[in-house]
Homo-oligomer: A and B are copies of this chain.
Amino acid sequence: MTNESRIWTAALVVVGDEILSGRTQDKNIAQVATWLGVQGIRLREVRVVPDDMDAIIEAVNTLRARNDYLFTTGGIGPTHDDITVDAVAAALGVDVVIHPKARAILESYYTTRGGLNDARLRMARVPDGADLIDNKVSGAPGIRAGNVYLMAGVPGITAQMLDGLTGQLEGGLPLLSATLGCWVAESEIADLLRETEKAFDGVQIGSYPFFREGRTGANFVVRSVSESQIADCVRTLEQGLTALGREPVAGGI
């Protein structure tokens, strides 16, 4: 098995009472998922947990063991409810230490912003042995501790940290996809979908129904690591829809 055919996986732990209370609409799941896809890494599971040490530790330990990479978002800021660094350190069985480079980054960043106080210095704390992930926006860096990547909760800052990591993680072939839409109830063409998926080994077809402008439709997403296999599968679906008197819409509706 070459590295190209090995499937690389990741999981994501979203830390945040604000997501679980419904106050904040999460945006990091889609953002991290999309970024991972481009790196050739598949997001296998996401857990949203409260700002609670035991809950974070359990999720981190379960998911880092069964995935190549584990990402966390949230809980690395300067306030009392930011406990992700402590929880990840506990999960890894290491101490929390001040990272000298993180301290230097924060000192420089806060020179013109009121100076480095105790709360801000909290953002230089890392699990012992960890490296930093660049963050050009707000000074405070992200953290890599083993295969665990600690990111911010604010989506714009996470985006910067992901940008800093782009191309640095080993991945496999990216999972490619193509979308085909049709103004049809998915229940009318379920046989076609199932049989087409069966005919193409290694291809998954997802069916995503919607109600729009008073009409029923669905988009079919064909996923595979092979571009030619996707093209063949899409052609088969198009022919099948046409044979049923339904017009396929390339690219989706």
Q: Which residues of A contact B (CB under 8 A)?
A: 14, 17-27, 29-37, 42-51, 55, 77-81, 113-114, 117-120, 122-123, 137-138, 154, 156, 175, 177, 185-188, 190-191, 193-194, 197, 204-211, 221, 223
Contacts and interface: CB of A to CB of B under 8 A. Distances in A.
A31 to B, nearest CB: 7
A209 B46 contact: no
Contact of A46 (B27, B48, B122, B210): B48
A50 to B, nearest CB: 7
How many protomers of this protein does the assembly include? Answer: 2
B18 A22 contact: no
A119 B206 contact: no
A43 B29 CA distance: 18
A6 B25 CA distance: 28
Contact of A33 (B19, B36, B45, B194): B19
A17 B204 contact: yes
A197 B204 CA distance: 49
A20 B48 contact: no
Nearest to A59: B45
A205 B81 contact: yes
A71 B32 CA distance: 24
Contacts of A14: 46
A120 B188 CA distance: 8
A114 B188 contact: yes
Given A27-B25, A79-B194, A187-B119, A20 B47 contact: no
Contact of A209 (B31, B117, B154): B154
A38 to B, nearest CB: 9
